[in-house]
Chain A
Amino acid sequence: MKSMNLTLKIWRQANAQAKGEMKTYSLSGINDHMSFLEMLDVLNEDLVKKGEEPVAFDHDCREGICGACSLVINGRPHGPLQTTTCQLHMRSFKDGDTIYIEPWRAKAFPVMKDLIVDRSAFDRIQQAGGYVSVNTGSAPDANEIPIGKQIADEAFNSATCIGCGACVAACKNASAMLFVGAKLSQYAMLPQGQVERKRRAEAMVAQMDKEGFGACTNTGACSAECPKEISMANIAMMNREFLTAKFTGEA
């Protein structure tokens, strides 16, 4: 077990209206087995003991699946590894390091406090069409919908998105196309998604634009930073879905 001393530069902002700034904190005796968020817990305990405001950040499951944790660490969403921040451990850093910690930066994700941003735009995109319209009780027997293993696996790869927003934070244009593409692709590949396929593509893309997300840069930063390794192919599929809907859709 190694002990390290760190300098932290953290974005502090009292609320959505306030002006924020980077503040410097020194932290000693950090052990390399700690997770990154546990390191922040230690900082916050120290701050409360000293009578200072702890740093607010979103987090919950701490096992890499809920998508709540965020943080741009040294300029990269979720830090140096392709994981969620909660799965990043201090052994990825060295004694004496200076670590910059900032919130997701995107117009559609306004900062609410310190490192917490408002990602409700993602929910509104899902509400616009991210579902199959099937009331409880009206489903046929599950095995009446056979789906080839390869298609099922592909759809699953798209469905693993945890909605954390790292793709948006990584993109120079703050594009949400990887997120939206993943959901559209999942349904487009499955037989259950066919009936509403065109309407879904149009509605989700329209909502995405309305929320103020930018256009795709084609640089692939989103996929490179995605903790669930969602592929760029989802964006290509989304474009195809959208164009097909535009040219052949009902509306």
Chain B
Amino acid sequence: MTLDSKIPAGPLEEKWANHKFSLKLVNPANKRKYDIIVVGTGLAGASAAASLAELGYNVKAFTFHDSPRRAHSIAAQGGINAAKNYQNDGDSVFRLFYDTIKGGDYRAREANVYRLAQVSVDIIDQCVAQGVPFAREYGGLLSNRSFGGAQVSRTFYARGQTGQQLLLGAYSAMNRQIAAGKVKLYTRTEMLDLVVVDGKARGIITRNLVTGAIESHSAHAVLLCTGGYGNVFYLSTNAMACNTTAAWRAHRRGALFGNPCFTQIHPTCIPVSGDYQSKLTLMSESLRNDGRVWVPKKANDSRSPEDIPEDERDYFLERKYPSFGNLVPRDVASRNAKYVCDEGRGVGATKLAVYLDFADAIKRDSEPVIRARYGNLFDMYQQITGENPYKTPMRIYPAVHYTMGGLWVDYNLMTTVPGCYALGEANFSDHGANRLGASALMQGLADGYFVIPYTIGDYLAGIGSEKVGTDRPEFTTAMQEAKDRIARLLSMKGTKTVDELHRELGLTMWDYCGMSRSGEGLTKARDIIKNIKNEFETNVRLMGTNEEMNQTLEKALRLADFIELGSLMVEDALRRNESCGGHFREEYQTPDGEALRDDNQFAYVAAWEYKGDNQPEELHKESLAFENVKLTQRSYK
């Protein structure tokens, strides 16, 4: 298989415009003859469903939630980047492009990222026109802030709930098309398989989560807008139901999976407090602007923080990175917190936390000033931990937050299965090995509002409007396979619960394929995951039947796919013998412990091809050419 990224020729600035002109169009009167399935109704899915329906296509939108508004895009806090340059501070499309490529540690495609930066400005216009209440200045114009260490103020925000406001905007646009009869919405419906007919994606198999009915739906194209796979770690900042099933099932049907080992660990989360923990809560990264990170100098120091004198504290980020201090990028901050905990210098009951201390900031600026800046975050912290961060330092620890890897797509967002597209976090395309803050919302909406409406027409015009019936054997076979999978799980009557096995998988991934990885650890993880898979296939215990609402069954079906994905992540991490972005291989570091990239050997996208149950996957490489930026080593000393 040769990977064709379909990057248009010509200068970077003109690629997208030229490409749009060269794409075939579907005649306005013919659009109504085409059906498009959109799986997932977060930012990417809802914006795509609305925009395609506005063009005249018939859209079927699927969500496993009770309402599209519950999609996890809703939880994004910080903001959305756009190269508007409203602040006159030197931003431009090229600068946003450059920052994103560099932030991704040179493992993303130049052409895709440049297009993302170009359409970012249209996203803000669209959202404002929908009534999204972004923060504003007294003069009535939009407010911006600098975010995630960016040197320009290009982030648009809506208090701490930018995700919810943007999602409600896309949801409202989709609602309008539901009312117009152009989008048919299926709630509490989960995709279980992709159906490929004559080499093209032609539909999906779903389970109705209320009745258990297994159903098939056919269409001319299938869009997977199903988010990331952070829950492979069990504990993450993702919502409980976030899963990889749609993407993984497409992978099993021929869609290559890109850079699966690229995951982002966010440094400022509320630490785990016990085995019952179900979820980790993110505290905005902005806290590091005023908080100082420290641990005791001595190992196993069990004094309370107030009793540890200044000269017995180690402000390790300030010590190691004097010029960036507490504001080093996410991956660096996370890794260093792990190191000090590994040395036995962690704090709190579990010893897996570091302090984030505001005492100096409060002394300098006064408590009311700090309250005005971070009041809601301090309240949230107190609600969850029962501790008052105005009086005692916060305890924080890194947690899995985002997955840069995902289904491999070409410039048109099409996977290697013709007619099957992946949008938003579900694809691998724009963030390389590390995502910058406020760029996830931008990418989800770019793909849905401004990329797919153009690129899908080219494909549809080429295949013609003839429909494929769900009575085709490809549908009935896939449906039977899904039913068999469910029956097997329900009949097992083993001794382990789904959550127990998921926790074991998560812990393994966290220990060996998390913040830092080593060849030795990854090899060990390979065997552990094999055992978990075996345990899951022979000894899991579910309750109830398929023909009812069955939340344990839902979790079991998702876990089955997480286990397979977990082992692919390990293989990918083993094969990438370098450190870059969120992927840190202990064997590949500079003398002072920083990530050591190997651009000669690893400036490529690792795209994995599924080869059958329990068979090793085959690696395909898409080499990355950098014609517009110079590759440099990141340094924050």
Contacts and interface: CB of A to CB of B under 8 A. Distances in A.
A45 interface: yes
A149 to B, nearest CB: 5
Interface in B107-135: 122, 124-131, 133-135
Interface string B231-242: 000000101110
B210 interface: yes
* Most A Cβ at <10 Å: residue of B50, B131, B187, B386: B131
A119 B278 contact: no
Interface string B241-259: 1000000000000000000
B278 A35 contact: yes
B70 A41 contact: no
A31 B276 contact: yes
A152 B136 contact: yes
Interface in B138-189: 138-142, 158-159, 161, 163-165, 168, 171-173, 175-176, 178-179, 185, 187
Interface in A40-90: 41-42, 45, 47-49, 51-54, 56, 58-68, 83, 87, 89
Interface stretch (A134-142, A212-220, A229-237, A242-250): A134-142
A130 interface: yes
A93 B172 CA distance: 39
Interface stretch (B190-198, B310-318, B520-528, B547-555): B547-555
Interface in B277-327: 277-279, 281-282
A41 B175 contact: no
Given A48-B497, A130-B172, A146-B140, A186 B449 contact: no
B603 interface: no
A225 B3 CA distance: 55
Contacts of B66: 58, 68, 118-120
A146 to B, nearest CB: 3
A79 B128 CA distance: 36
B543 A136 contact: no
B133 A190 contact: yes
B383 A89 contact: yes
Contacts, number: 216
A7 interface: no
Nearest to A159: B133
Given A65-B164, A132-B129, A137 B122 contact: yes
A112 interface: yes
Interface residues of B, number: 83
A245 B499 CA distance: 53
Interface residues of A, number: 79
A178 B542 CA distance: 40
Contacts of B542: 48
Given A15-B548, A147-B136, A148-B140, A63 B281 contact: yes
A133 B69 CA distance: 18
B173 A149 contact: no
Interface stretch (A95-103, A121-129, A169-177): A121-129
B54 A135 contact: yes
B128 A139 contact: yes
Contacts of B140: 146-149, 152
A11 interface: no
B137 A60 contact: no
B449 A136 contact: yes
Nearest to B172: A131
A34 B274 contact: yes
A152 B552 CA distance: 43
A162 interface: yes
B70 A60 contact: yes
B179 A127 contact: yes
B126 A136 contact: yes
A148 B140 CA distance: 4
A132 B453 CA distance: 20
* Most B Cβ at <10 Å: residue of A56, A83, A139: A139
B75 A63 contact: yes
Given A142-B84, A190-B131, A59 B549 contact: no
B276 A38 contact: yes
A186 B158 CA distance: 14
Given A33-B273, A63-B279, A133-B176, A48 B552 contact: yes
Contacts of B552: 48, 54
Nearest to A146: B140
Return the 8 tightest CB-CB contacts between A and B, nearest first: A146-B140, A139-B129, A131-B172, A139-B125, A142-B128, A136-B51, A156-B133, A62-B279
Given A61-B239, A68-B65, A147-B140, 4 more contacts: A33-B274, A113-B548, A123-B69, A148-B140
